């Protein structure tokens, strides 16, 4: 009987939980999450902000200024323009001054949809130099 008690004590010391496979799985999961997290990219629009608050331009390099008020009304040359006519107006003004760029000045309460619509109209009119100015 004594011999069986000793043999049971030896078996208990030899039966341990092996943590090596669990650590391997944890490291593999860690590598997987690191690799997949590096490919996540947020969608958005690149905005080119001017470096200087006020710049002087020559009359021949005048920009096309488009103002969007709080009611999403579009103003070009001090008159209200229909959103469908923005492209035609930009084409006309760009033909008069090919070196000029488009400057959009949205109100803080205007919607982003109107801003993106104007930017798309300018690009479809052939003007790719578009800036967004802060309303004063």
d(CA 99, CA 38): 40
pLDDT tens sequence across 105-125 = 999 999 999 999 999 999 999
The domain ranges of the chain are 2-37, 59-132
Are residues 69 and 106 in contact, defined by beta-carbon separation less than 8 angstroms? no
Reading phi first (left if > 0) and then psi (alpha if -120 to 50, else beta), residue 121 is in: alpha
Query: Looking at the chain, how many residues does it have?
Result: 136
pLDDT tens sequence across 57-101 = 555 567 889 999 999 999 998 899 999 999 999 999 999 888 888
Q: Tell me yes or no: is domain 59-132 CATH 3.40.30.10.
A: no
């Amino acid at each position: 009987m004594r011999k069986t008690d000793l043999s049971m004590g030896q078996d208990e010391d030899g039966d341990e939980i092996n943590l090596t496979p669990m650590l391997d799985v944890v490291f593999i999961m860690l590598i997987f999450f690191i690799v997949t997290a590096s490919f996540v990219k947020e969608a958005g629009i690149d905005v080119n902000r001017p470096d200087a608050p006020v710049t002087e331009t020559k009359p021949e390099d005048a920009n096309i200024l488009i103002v969007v008020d709080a009611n999403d009304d579009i103003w070009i040359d001090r008159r209200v323009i229909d959103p469908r006519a923005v492209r035609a107006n930009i084409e006309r003004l760009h033909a008069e001054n090919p070196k000029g760029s488009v400057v959009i000045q949205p109100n803080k309460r205007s919607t982003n949809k109107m801003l993106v619509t104007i930017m798309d109209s300018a690009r479809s009119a052939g003007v790719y130099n578009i800036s967004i100015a802060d309303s004063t």
